[in-house]
Amino acid sequence: MAETERARSGGMKWLTELVNEWRAAGQRIGIVPTMGALHQGHLSLVQAARAECERVVATVFVNPTQFAPTEDLAKYPRTLVADLEMLAAERVDAVLVPTEDEMYPPGFSTYVQPPEVSQKWEGAVRPSHFRGVATVVLKLLNMTRADVCYLGQKDYQQVAVVRRMVADLNVPCEIKMCPTVRDPDGLAMSSRNRYLSKDERQIGLSLSRTLFAAEKQIRSGAKNGPELSSWMREQLIASGVSQVDYAFAADADTLEPLTEVRLPLVLLMAARVGTTRLLDNLVVRQG
């Protein structure tokens, strides 16, 4: 892990040299972009990359441009020492931990204006969020010249935004979506779960429980999209969530709400438990 060690001191120049070496040798590069506070969900992405690519780069950067001024940038969990240990154990080839100034030097002023699929749901609740996500992901893909980028299904709309951006801008990188990893109780893993009190966590379980119950209803023949949506919302509220931002069945590609249930679809939801926002989703496929 000498290279991982170097990442912390050498910064971005070091990475460029390493990447140029790898490319010259014809090696396939996978990237796992993260904001740190790593959990098994992130590690599953690293493992997928490790299985498919000769070189794996993880990045750890709490990206300020994807947080609104009212959001939790300052208190977002930072656990760099533990993160680096976990990444070393997964045998990544390099970890890039850029500073804010390296990513956004004085005079920085170019952004990605993200695709239309960024406008709704998370984009409506968090207006400049996906602009920040699209911009930082494009920067990281360019910096690492990655062939494949691994993203978690937990942030389903994020994957849709990045996919469309990469297609629209002809970025020579493949986007792979890896399954959401859940705790044994069903809660989708998230760095923000550590904000939850014990009681809040119990309430938070209503998201996955409602998703799996809704899937059962669909398998049993439920056809009406808005009815399913109302039912999911009621389940969440009955379980004690503070606010439901959205909960509905959507077309798996466009993320438009479905009037009539047809597969494949994605059940998308976001709800607040206390002051913590939780996201979850479930793709329902034929058969």
Q: List residues with catalytic annotation.
A: 42
What's the closest the beta carbon of residue 276 comes to a second copy, in angstroms?
Answer: 31
Residue 100 tokens read as 């804010």
170 sits near a second copy (criterion: CB under 8 A): yes
What is the side-by-side order of every strand in the sheet holding 243-251? 243-251, 265-273, 276-284
Residue number, 78 or 145, with CB nearest to a second copy: 145
23 binds a second copy (CB under 8 A): yes
CB 118 to a second copy: min, Å: 9
How is residue 179 written in tokens?
Answer: 């399954």
Does position 13 interact with a second copy (CB under 8 A)? The reply is no
From the CB of 1, what's the least distance to a second copy, in Å? Answer: 25
Subset of 95-154 contacting a second copy (CB under 8 A): 107-117, 131, 134-135, 138-139, 142-143, 145
187 and 273 Cβ atoms separated by less than 8 Å: no
Is there binding between residue 21 and a second copy (CB under 8 A)? Answer: no
CA–CA distance, 217 with 26 (Å, rounded to integer): 49
Residue closer to a second copy, measured from CB, 137 or 249: 137
Distances (CA, A) of 84 to 88, 146, 204: 6, 20, 29
Which listed residue (164, 201, 233, 277) binds a second copy by CB under 8 A?
A: 164
Measure the CA–CA gap between 268 and 160, rounded to whole angstroms. 13
Instruction: Tell me the C-alpha to C-alpha distance, in Å, between residue 253 and each of 7, 93, 153, 204, 232.
Output: 37, 33, 13, 27, 21
Query: Are 162 and 140 spatial neighbours (Cβ–Cβ below 8 Å)?
Result: no
Determine if 231 is a binding residue for a second copy (CB under 8 A). Answer: no
Taking the least distance from each CB to a second copy, the nearer of 113 and 197 is 113
Give the nearer residue to a second copy in terms of CB position, either 24 or 81: 24
Angle at 170 between CA 139 and CA 124, to 5 degrees: 65
The two structure tokens encoding residue 223: 């056809």
Size of the site for a second copy (CB under 8 A): 30
DSSP 8-state class, residue 65: G
- With respect to a second copy, which residue has the nearer C-beta, 107 or 221? 107
Determine, following the binding rule CB under 8 A, whether residue 165 of this chain makes contact with a second copy.
yes
**Residues found near a second copy in the complex (CB under 8 A):** 16, 23-24, 26, 107-117, 131, 134-135, 138-139, 142-143, 145, 164-165, 168-172
